[in-house]
Structure 1
Amino acid sequence: MEFKDKIELIKKFDYYVRNKSTGSPSNLAKKLGTSESTVFRIKDIIESMGGKLEYCSKVESYRYKKAGNLLLGFEESDH
């Protein structure tokens, strides 16, 4: 998998988390078209960047413990 594809996978993971629609890790793996072990690796990557996650069995979704934004990409500036 190319680096940009990995970034897109992380962005999709984040999208499902923010929308509280990840489902179980196995369901999320299906949504992302990847394996459950990759889901856990992505979770670890996001947590290493400061985005602490928890699984809520009530809504059956991962969620961020604190509000915030995951920023991945290039933003042009005037400088």
Structure 2
Amino acid sequence: MKLSEQLQLLDRLNDLILRKGTGNYLSLSTRLAVSPRQVYYLLDALEDLGAEIAYCKIRQSYYYVNEGGLDFSGLVLSSKNGS
């Protein structure tokens, strides 16, 4: 997977977490079109970037312990010429 694709996935995951609309890891893997194992890798990557993430069983969603999330706006790369 290319770096730009990973950043786009992290940005999408960040958005879902901010909206508290991730669902459980299985539904999240479907939303992101990745394997359930990849969901855990993505969550770990966000935590490596300094995010504290928890899971709410009642809402069935991941959320940031400290509100705010991460800003990927300057990092998400668009592919040139479709590559």
Q: TM-score, normalised by structure 2?
A: 0.84
For residues 20 and 74 of structure 2, the distance between their equivalents in structure 1, rounded to whole angstroms, comes to 26
Higher relative contact order (CA 8 A, sep 6+): 2
For residues 43 and 5 of structure 1, the distance between their equivalents in structure 2, rounded to whole angstroms, comes to 15
Structure 1 residues not aligned, in runs of 5+: none
Give 1:19 deviation, angstroms. Answer: 0.7
For residues 23 and 74 of structure 1, the distance between their equivalents in structure 2, rounded to whole angstroms, comes to 27
Structure 1 residue runs of 4 or more that deviate by more than 4 Å after TM superposition = none
For residues 64 and 44 of structure 2, the distance between their equivalents in structure 1, rounded to whole angstroms, comes to 13
Q: Does 1:5 align with 2:5?
A: yes
Structure 2 counterparts to residues 12-31 of structure 1, below 5 A: 12-31=12-31
- Number of residue equivalences: 75
Structure 2 counterparts to residues 14-53 of structure 1, below 5 A: 14-53=14-53
Question: Is contact 2:18–2:68 with CA below 8 Å preserved after alignment?
Answer: no
Other-structure match for 2:79: none
Other-structure match for 1:74: 74
For residues 22 and 69 of structure 1, the distance between their equivalents in structure 2, rounded to whole angstroms, comes to 14
- How large is the RMSD of aligned CA atoms in angstroms? 1.3
Q: TM-score, normalised by structure 1?
A: 0.88
2:71 alignment partner AA:
L
For residues 41 and 4 of structure 2, the distance between their equivalents in structure 1, rounded to whole angstroms, comes to 16
Give 1:69 deviation, angstroms. Answer: 3.2
